[in-house]
Amino acid sequence: MFHFSREAVARLKARANEECGRGDLSSFQSLTALLWRAVTRARGLAPGQATSCRVAIENRARLRPPLAKEYFGNSIYVVAASATAGELLAQGIGWAAALVNRAVAEHTDTEIRAKLGAWMARPFVYTLREFDENSVMVGSSPRFDMYGCEFGWGRAVAARSGGANKFDGKISMYPGWEGGGSMDVELCLVPENMAALERDEEFMGAVSPPVEMEVLLEGIN
C-alpha cells in the first residue's frame, strides 16, 4: 500500500502536463503513468518487450443517451495504453499519461457499442489467465466515496480490497483518508519486483509517508 498526499499528486499532475505542454492530463492519469513506468522498470523488461496499462473505465456517462443514475448494474470496459518498455522508459511521465488520456478519450459511445456488439456475437468471460504478465491493470477509483458510508461503527480508517482477484500487476486506487485529492494505491507484485520497486528513486520520491494512526483516530473522534 502506497500513500500519495494531495501535494504529491498535484506535483505529479503539474509535471506530467508541463512535460507535454498541455493542461488536460488528470491526477489519475498522471499517477497511473508513474506506476506503469515504475513497475516496468522493476520488472526489468527488455526494451523491445511490449507492455500495456489497462484501466477499468465506466460506460454510464459515455453512452448516448447515458444510463440512468438509478441503474444498479455494472457497466464497465477495460481500455489499454500500449508501448514497448524502451519507449515507455525513454519518455517521461507526461508521455505515458498522454497515452492513458488518449485511451480514455477514445472510449466513446460508438466504441462501447462496437465492443458490446462483438461480445454479443461471441460471448466470453474474462479470466485471470488472460492477463498479460508485462502489463498493469488499474481498477477502483479515487472518486469512489470509500469513507462516506457510516454503518454505526464510526468512520473507516482505511480502505482495502482483500485477497480476491489479485495477480501480478493488479493496481487498485482509492481516495486518501485525509481527502483533498490524496490517493492510496494498493499494488500487487511478485516479491522480487516489489523489492525493486521499493528501491526505485523516481517512484519512492513521489510516495508520501502514511497517515499516522494517531491522526486517523483523532480525526474520527
- pLDDT tens column, 134-185: 999 999 999 998 888 888 888 888 888 888 889 999 999 999 988 999 999 9
pLDDT of residue 113: 97
In whole angstroms, give the CA distance from residue 147 to residue 180: 13
Neighbouring residues of 143: CB distance < 8 A, sequence distance ≥ 6: 175
- Domain residue spans in the chain? 2-220
Which range has the worst mean pLDDT, 29-33, 72-76, 103-107? 72-76
Q: What's the chain's average pLDDT?
A: 92
The pLDDT of residue 131 is 82
The matching CATH number, chosen from 3.40.50.2300, 2.40.50.100, 3.30.559.10, 1.20.120.420, for 2-220 is 3.30.559.10
Q: What's the average model confidence in pLDDT over 68-87?
A: 93
Per-residue pLDDT at 53 = 98
**What per-residue confidence (pLDDT) applies to 213?**
52
pLDDT confidence of residue 44: 98
pLDDT over 90 for what percent of the chain? 75
Q: What is the pLDDT of residue 126?
A: 80
Mean pLDDT of the 48-53 span: 98
pLDDT for residue 173: 96
Lowest average pLDDT, out of 6-15, 42-51, 160-169, goes to 160-169
State pTM to two decimals: 0.92
pLDDT at 149: 83
- Alpha-carbon distance 184 to 187, whole Å? 10
Confidence class of residue 73 from pLDDT cuts 50, 70 and 90? confident
Mean pLDDT computed over 52-74: 93
More confident residue, 215 or 163: 163
